[in-house]
Amino acid sequence: MQRRSNTKWIKLGQKLSTKTASGMMFAMLFSYQSIASSLFSLIYCVDYENTKVLFLDGNIECYQLWQIATISVVSVCVIPFSFYIMVAPAKLVSGMISVPYFFASCLCAPPLSLLAYIKMTLLPCSSGRPGHRTKTHTTHKPSMEALAVYKILQGPYREYGISVFGRSIMLCWSGMLLGRRLLLILCHTFIHDIVLRVS
Q: Where are the domains of the chain?
A: 2-122+142-198
Check pLDDT > 50 for residue 125.
Answer: no
Q: Which residues contact 168 (CB under 8 A, 6 or more apart)?
A: 161, 162
Check pLDDT > 80 for residue 156.
Answer: no
| pLDDT for position 18 | 87
Q: Which amino acid is at 100?
A: P
HSE at residue 9, side-chain half, CA atoms within 13 A, is 6
pLDDT digits (tens, 9 = 90+) for 19-68: 888 899 999 999 998 999 999 999 999 888 888 999 888 888 888 899 99
Mean residue pLDDT across the chain: 76
Alpha-carbon torsion angle 16, 22, 28, 30, nearest 10 = -120
Are 72 and 43 a contacting pair, CB within 8 Å? no
Q: Which amino acid is at 55?
A: F
| pLDDT for position 126 | 37
Angle at 20 between CA 14 and CA 25, to 5 degrees: 130
Of the given ranges (45-54, 99-108, 138-147), which has the lowest mean pLDDT?
138-147
| pLDDT for position 40 | 93
pLDDT band at 114 (very low <50, low <70, confident <90, very high): low
| pLDDT for position 103 | 87
Whole-angstrom distance, CA of residue 65 vs CA of residue 68: 5
Of the given ranges (37-46, 98-107, 112-121, 171-180), which has the lowest mean pLDDT?
112-121
| pLDDT for position 34 | 92
Check pLDDT > 90 for residue 134.
Answer: no
Check pLDDT > 60 for residue 124.
Answer: no
Q: How many helices (H) and strands (E) does the chain have?
A: 8, 4
User: Cα 122 vs. chain centroid, distance in angstroms?
Assistant: 19
Check pLDDT > 70 for residue 4.
Answer: no
pLDDT band at 92 (very low <50, low <70, confident <90, very high): confident
Out of 2-16, 77-91, 102-116, the most confident range is 77-91
